[in-house]
Amino acid sequence: MDTLNTSKQQKALDFQQESSRLDSLLEYLGLNEQNLSTELDLLLTTYADIAVSCGVQEPSQTQIHIVLQNCISTIEQETLQNKHVTKSDQELKQQLSSKIEQLQGTLTENGFYDDSPLSHENIIQQADDLEKLKKECSSLKDELEAYNKLPPNINLAKAEIERLRQRLGEITAQVQQILGQTVDMPFLSET
């Protein structure tokens, strides 16, 4: 285990020394990271990544070729998977579109259309209207209760009023008799 750690530490030290050597060489040539082109920077980064993946300081032409082939294969596989996923997505989209059209056709056949009385908005509006009518009906019913004790036609109503006047007259006569005085009650007179 110590041998493995020592080996890794030695490789890290070797890479640092090589990095320092390359930095000094670039400095000697008057090049630094700021004036390197993006393409050259990408090339150097890729070269360093290949060296790290191969575990060597300077990869051979064969090692570079193998790593690049592996990268190309990986990219091709990912692209193929993405095409498969995209194809599956397109198939699903087509299936769902077809199902939506079928369901819309079924709705239309059954009398449902955009401004149909069966639409959600219309049903909600009708429910609100129904609540308003129920409240109005309730207040009218309360008002009607006051008239429920009246006879259904005018002649019966007049007869009932007359009967109640007579009854009031009888009660008034009893009160006068009890009190022994004459009470004037103008509402008993005939109109």
Residue 72 lies in a domain: yes
How much is the pLDDT for 188?
A: 54
Q: Which one is predicted more confidently, 122 or 163? A: 163
Q: Which amino acid belongs to residue 35?
A: N
CA 105-110-113 angle, 5° bins: 65
- With CA atoms as reference, report the closest residue to 172 among 161, 160, 159, 182: 182
| % residues pLDDT > 90 (the chain) | 6
Q: The tokens of 153 are what?
A: 């036609």
Q: From 59, 78, 97, give the residue that closes a domain.
A: 78
Is residue 62 located within the same domain as residue 23?
Answer: yes
Q: The tokens of 151 are what?
A: 């006879």
Residue 85 lies in a domain: no
How much is the pLDDT for 166?
A: 95
Residues 191, 184 contacting (CB under 8 angstroms): no
Q: Which runs of consecutive H residues, i.e. helices, occur in the chain?
A: 2-29, 38-54, 61-109, 120-145, 154-179
pLDDT at 110 over 70: no
Residues 3-47: tens digit of each pLDDT: 777 877 888 888 788 878 777 766 766 666 666 666 666 666 777
For the chain, what is the domain count? 3
Tokens 């309360």 correspond to 142
Residues 151, 157 contacting (CB under 8 angstroms): yes
- With CA atoms as reference, report the closest residue to 71 among 51, 50, 45: 50
Q: Which domain holds residue 137?
A: 118-149
pLDDT at 109 over 50: yes
pLDDT band at 117 (very low <50, low <70, confident <90, very high): low
Residue 165 lies in a domain: yes
Q: From 78, 108, 128, give the residue that closes a domain.
A: 78
pLDDT band at 114 (very low <50, low <70, confident <90, very high): low
pLDDT at 53 over 90: no
